[in-house]
Amino acid sequence: MRFALFLLCYLVLLIALFNFFTIRIPRNKAAIFTSVTVLLPVRNEQANVGPCIAALVAQKNVAQLEVIIINDQSTDNTAEVLISAIGADSRFSVIEADGPHQGWLGKVSALHTGFARSTGEIIICLDADVRLEPDAIALAVNQLQDLSLAFISPYPRQIADTFSEKLIQPILHWSWMSTVILRLAEKVPHRSTAVGNGQFFLVRAKALTAIDGFTSVSAKILDDVELARSLITAGFSGVVTEGSGISYTRMYTSFDEIRQGYGKSLHKAFGGALGAIVASLFIAATGLAPLLLILDGYFIGGIAFICIALTRALSAIRARSNPLYALLHPLSAALLLYLIAYSWAKRGTIQWKGRTV
């Protein structure tokens, strides 16, 4: 059993090493002339929309850019901030949504509403808390076209300031970099290896039209991963790429926000109860078991821990976060297990943006 644990940790290290050296990184800054539509759903985002729009205004080398902002019944000063931030820029338009369609969740309903008005050949789904570098859209669209894919998801750098953020946020990047062979997932797409991040997601309009927009994810909390799965099921290919050099975001600012944010979604992250059990066993085996073996005096536990710590360090280097927190992976794993349990205990009761999800 101890040797099997070591083999698991060693396999995870091999996957992380392969992805570290082969992950797709956007590098082509050439001007793009393909029409691009950015869909930006907002609800009570008065603190975020100003900087987000400023970053969109500053985009370079994008000849045909359209930005559709869908204001989903904001009750704060989001509408006023939008007017001020947009100014007279004719590339921007605002849709005042009447709330989610019947049976739909708010964000995907807003995205679907915006998509119906879009004219771009490339659709970009963007969250209001994401900040794009001035050449981000050009780099991302060029990457999509150079790879001849239907969709890509350039994974933004996750800003973490508080201790709880630094423990849990790097796990997002690590979770797919150490478990999915990205080049294989790109060449041989399968639902089980689909990865996507709705914070920054590019898809060809023709592919999105083929699956009837966001209809397939209308009630999906993890709409980004499910959208990638829907596209793959329809015969389209795509992959997550390294977007930490062209975009960044700070998802949460406190442990309470982390608990609520992960609480609303983690019970859906693994495809059901069985998936959650398997994922929890994997997290415990790679995060807690090596430390327990070390404390019990087993040398092989130390080797297993080094393997996993190296995977975290490799992920952190690519994600532009602090690799020293790799040494605290057992604590990160314990926190993630707590959040999974919390999400299952609170499923269907958590409030997010003033709505129960």
Per-residue pLDDT averaged across 120-134, rounded? 98
Percent of the chain scoring above 70 in pLDDT:
98
In 3D space, the residue among 40, 101, 96, 94 whose CA is nearest the CA of residue 72 turns out to be 96
Provide the pLDDT for residue 1: 84
Distances (CA, A) of 87 to 53, 66, 125: 11, 15, 22
- The answer to whether domain 23-253 has CATH 3.40.50.1360 is no
**Is residue 357 scored above 90 in pLDDT?**
no
Write down the residue that tokens 């698991």 correspond to.
Answer: 8
Please list, residue by residue across 27-62, b when 16 or more beta carbons sit within 10 angstroms of its beta carbon and e when fewer do.
eeeeebeebbbbbbbbbbbbebbbebbebbbebebb
Q: What is the pLDDT of residue 249?
A: 97
E-strand stretches of 168-222: 200-204
What is the residue extent of each domain of the chain? Answer: 2-21+256-356, 23-253
Q: Is 173 exposed, middle or buried (0-12, 13-18, 19+ CB in 10 A)?
A: buried
Tell me, what's the pLDDT at 196? 94
For residue 355, pLDDT over 70 is answered with no
DSSP letter assigned to residue 102: T
pTM assigned to the model: 0.94
Closest of 269, 162, 150 to residue 201, by C-alpha: 150
- Give the residue, 353 or 310, on which the prediction is more confident: 310
Sheet containing 238-242: give its strands across: 92-97, 65-72, 36-42, 122-126, 200-204, 151-155, 238-242
Grade residue 347 by pLDDT with cuts at 50, 70 and 90. Answer: confident
For 70, 75, 111, 147, 356, the CA distances from 108, given in Å and listed in that order, are: 11, 19, 5, 27, 15
Over the stretch 16-75, which tens digit does the pLDDT of each residue have?
A: 999 999 999 999 999 999 999 999 999 999 999 999 999 999 999 999 999 999 999 999
Whether 351 has a pLDDT exceeding 80, the answer reads no
Tokens of 303: 């080797």
For residue 352, what pLDDT band results from cuts at 50, 70 and 90? low
Judge whether residue 230 has pLDDT over 80: yes
Averaged pLDDT for residues 149-156: 98
